[in-house]
Structure 1
Amino acid sequence: MPTDHGSDPGTGLVSAACAGDPRAVEGLVTQSLPLVYNIVGRALDGGQDVDDVVQETLLRVVRGLDGLENPSSYRSWMVAITVRQIRDWIRGRVQDREAREPVELAARFPDPASDFASLTVLRLQLDSDRREVAEATRWLDEDQRELLSLWWLEETGELARAEVCEALGLSGRHTAVRVQRLKEQLDVARTVVRVLAARPACPELSGLTEGWDAVPSPLWRKRISRHTRGCAHCGTRTDRLVPVSRLLLGLPLLVPPPGLRQAVWAAIAPALPAADTRPDGVTETGAPGSAGPRPRGTHAAGRTASRRRASRRAGHARTVTAAVATATVVLGAFALAHYRDTDRTVSSPAGAPTVSGAGTTAGATASASPSPGPSAKKKEKKGKEKEKDEKGEGEKKSGASASAGTARASRAAGGETAADPVISSRRKGVGVWSFPGMSDALGRSGAGWYYTWSTAHPGITASGGADFVPMVWGAKSVTTQALAEAKAAGPYLLGFNEPDMSAQSNMTVDQALDLWPKLQATGATLGSPAVAYGGDRAGGWLDRFMSGAKQRGYRVDFIALHWYGGDFRTAAAVDQLRSYLSAVYARYHKPIWLTEFALIDFSQGTRYPTDTEQAAFLTSATKMLAGLPYVRRYAWFGLGTDDAGPGTTLFRSGSTLTAEGRAFRSAP
């Protein structure tokens, strides 16, 4: 069994943090974040609320530091708070199950790079046996996930059994019984993973799983394991399972994404209250072992201890707040470096495809890829005058400072008012091509992610914390440099851009399939080539590609789609988009990313709706998409342009927010 129980911050650091030392608080939260992230992430299977639970957990830890009586018990206390936050989240989800049916249904369609099984495989580059264990965790019962998160960290040497027992609130004997049951269930799940991956496949097993949607579940685990026990073909493949404890020994923690580090400090800084000492000397701060406030009427010893600390609490609150401000700068710089390391302008090689129009700017090129931009047909100059953008009125508050007034005037000039709501969401993305002020526009848009039709993002900073997702545009983009950039950019990779269009990557199905293993080799969660149309059609380009990928044993983790509507009536357009997405999902049963969409009529040249019509569609369409659990992400076409560009963008003339831009900022 492991004996090195992870990274212990030490009593000196904890004591200094409890006393309000700014750098100690910074160091303590920095050291605690990876452990909390791994516990929460694996317990919730990398669900959409992991970041929120992590932030709330660390917020409660910081608030409760002044009530921690024994610095040596910090880790056990922190893990216990983490487990309580997980249970509170699960309890709330169960209570809201009926009201939140789309959210519950979405759990059946996990983002393929958000669950911890995929993250573990992708980031740690596991060998076959360890990969099998990681993938087997998807098959466990939901009520086992909390125990899994703690036991996994015990096996990897990050937690001691005593810490696991304390977090669960169980005796050592009871914990041992539960862990043994978990191991048995995990071994069953490992056999399921093994027989499903075996080649050649068992004919009987193929018949059994013919109607299965490929989503792991306890029901199918039981069916497949029952078949395995009685099948001579499959039974021989399940012998000699290497003990899990040997496979997990020494595995490192998954590193939290840089954006989460920023988000944690953004959540902590404004929420830290000033000291609130009550008349009886009891302060509303967390008690040891508790994520909540200290109750009134505690016994005399507790009140005495509270009074002893009362004199330092005002200073503690001020210094912790200062520590948060300092760490926000330090960790924010660290997170931005993740993006800036790859910010550079590189030249396209000879023969690389180029696209003229709004998507290009003089001197802006990308590595082995086209100039960032969409189909040439979408970038034709508008044939009609666009409606003028509505101007937001600046606030006119009496007594406001000159600098605040200037800032409000600046927002008003861009069509933005102080009342404009901005909803940030990881699901919400945007396509970006070069234009003046693109980084500022990206930060103001509320987008959670963006892409550039390339594996690089020259000139774009991580403004607003949006994540970059690379794309290998076409055949000539499959270069050593581009693949290295894609691998370094993060967990996702988008496949070829509109290979069914002669004006775009223009690839045959066989050509795309021959190149696909090189994209797979990046280890990224991989999106299909994004066809311009006909993704739902039997025998269409995408259908032939997916059939060929299945025959060759290639991996396609999600479907990428484009959609443009020529009917400018909002209700009709939204219904058409919904029908298309539903038909594509019914054909492939894989998560979908809608990576380009807007209203553009190509039936007779290129015709755009008014900004008001486009904004109405965007608002209704994004609400509809929020109710489709298999649509994991979407990206509007596109972020911004000059006045000659397409009439669909969120910004025009560099910094002027359009009506559709305001609608996007409020979209879920």
Structure 2
Amino acid sequence: MIENRRRGPDPGVVTAARAGDRPALERLVDQCLPLVYNIVGRALNGHADVDDVVQETLLRMVRGLPKLRDPSAFRSWLVAITIRQVRNREQSRATDRDRRAHLDDAETITDPALDFAGLTILRLGLTEQRREVAEATRWLDPDDQELLSLWWLEETGELERAELAGALGLSDRHAAVRVQRMKKQMEVSRCVVRGLGAEPRCAELDGIALPWDGMPSPLWRKRFGRHIRGCGVCAGLERGLLPMDRLLSGLPLLAVPVSLDPARVVALAAEGSGSGGGPRGPRGRHGRTARRVARRVARKQIVVGGSAAVAVVAVAALVAARMTAGPTAPAAATDPPPTPVAVTSSAAAPSPSASPSPGPSESPSPKASAKPTPSKHTAAPVQVASGAKKGVGVWTFGGVSQALAESGASWYYTWNTQHQGVTTPGSSSFVPMIWGASSVTDASLAQARAAGPYLLGFNEPDMAQQSNMTVEQALGLWPKLMAAGKVLGSPAVATGAATPGGWLDRFMSGASGKGYRVDFITLHWYGGDFRTPQAVEQLREYLASVYVRYHKPIWLTEYALIDFSQGTRFPSAQQQAAFVTASTKMLDGLSYVHRYSWFGLGADASKPSSGLFTNGTTATAAGRAFQAAR
């Protein structure tokens, strides 16, 4: 079949599909999917609703095709349907936002593996200015993101200006004005990205950013933009910016994976019923929630490869699941969701002998290892309690118990099976740890059994300065930890948890082969990039890669901004505080991160650190940010 990239499928194929030719219709759906997915994905910036909107758009296209009078206008008609569905989604959410505020907060979490800007930045290896443009898209308001998604496709040769204008319901001249206004906002956003990422950052801009939560938004774009326009220090940020059309034109569309069968989309359209034109399945609030849960489980278990086809794989899995297993089933090719691990109120922090990992964690791995096989050692599922994620690592210092209470941490640990002099506040619970080989004693295991439902495994066994254990040694001792009868976390490696053949990967493979139980993955992470958005994204990406590899809940039991690449370097107090605010918000939004703990509770007032309190009542800037986190 001949296809013109600008004008779309051959009118003859459209005519045949309109007349009921099933193979022609399947071919048409196959060709439409990349365009629709790119428009919706960029307009919604990888939101959890992307696949729902894409599917509904394709279904409406298939069902409305018999009414299309001019086959040569198919492409413009399809783009208009797509934009209408994006707007319908925004209007629907706006209508019930107040009524469902709490649920909406949970559903607005962008899947870390499928954020379009994040994919562009992290997966395609862009040059610095393309990286800045990709980051800048996050600062636009929804209308401009919608327009950018169309203009982007115009610049890459996928749309004509008439199609862009038609989709927006505007004349070509009015559309040109809108495009120019959007491009100006993008230029402001690019300068904001540069300003916030500058080293050293403008001191006045740093002050303005203190109450900022680290998440891009139109409101903060305007605030930062006003400062940049009138600041002598920031005045040169726009120098050397290349035109956006030159930067965007080199970015490819997301490719359609071979796993997507257009025949299934057509079959789903044929099965549809009801006035809404949607697929059969649960209706109303609970039905939508069930479908989103199934979708998010399916999407998070897709193994992310190095190609640009990542995001479309999610739609393929979703459509395949709904065609083969019913409308609420997750993708058939993915593993079942992980067993939930209980999260009760408690708090955490490091012991004097515990030191942070010596460097940032390695890049995420695209390859997933096999899940442990079920065995008699498998723990019973326990429900996750909300609001109990935030914890801190604790070592003894003057006023430690009062500081723990002031911190607002819901749980804590001491790298030990005992409280180490901490008087547990009523709002915080203690989690014991078997630190290393020498800690595997009857006395320590008895203390762990008496301390609550959880047990943390060995501390940084991949580090000579820490528990320093071989994989074989750890596996040999693991049955004794399982015998404690606790919900059991993996050994917490210092780096490279998602690395194929790394320490944790070999341990998990060995545990799988022996039928050993590991209920959740325990991680450490330290960031050497002190720019808040970049550090948060790097942490998010690392967590996502580990989840994709092992498909288990995650506890992040040590994390902070500390650069170990050349000695030990700390960020400014303001930078550490900004990271606390932004990272806790991000971590609270990741459903597979069940707990996290900051490193650590104690701080020395005489030197830089990542600590939260210098005594029982005096909080550092990071400590105040930690207190404010939910």
What TM-score, normalized by structure 1, do the two folds share? 0.47
